[in-house]
Amino acid sequence: MQCILAYHEWKNMWWQEQSSIQKVGDATIQSGLAGYAKKQAVISQRMAEVCTAYWLPHLKDKGIVPSWASSYVSVIESSMVDGVENGEGDEEGGTDTEHDADVDVCFDLND
């Protein structure tokens, strides 16, 4: 689990660097490249947060507190508000498909 979080954190930083490295003469293309890189950075950050919000309650139930847990305290607190810990869906009684996709990818990486 720690390796997956480290990967997502590294990938977040890598994409942030990419947004400023690419230099193109056309300002519109430059803006598009930077926007894409920033979007990818946010996706990587969100993947780490979703994995953490999903894993930590299960580890806590087993009495396990990993060293990386303190880095994600705010994520844990916000997940409790968002209903991630309890597995709740959206207000209409369905499920949050974007969240489900994040969790599915998270587990595919761990298999």
The three-state secondary structure class of 42 is: helix
How far is the C-alpha of 47 from the C-alpha of 33, rounded, in Å? 21
Which residues have C-beta within 8 Å of that of residue 80, sequence separation ≥ 6?
86
The pair of three-digit structure tokens given for residue 33, joined into one six-digit string: 């490249």
- Predicted TM-score (pTM) of the model is 0.63
The three-state secondary structure class of 64 is: coil
Task: Tell me if 43 sits within 8 A of 82, measured CB to CB.
Answer: no
Residues 25-62: tens digit of each pLDDT:
888 888 898 999 999 999 999 999 999 888 888 888 99
Averaged pLDDT for residues 70-77: 72
Query: Regarding predicted confidence, which is higher, 89 or 35?
Result: 35
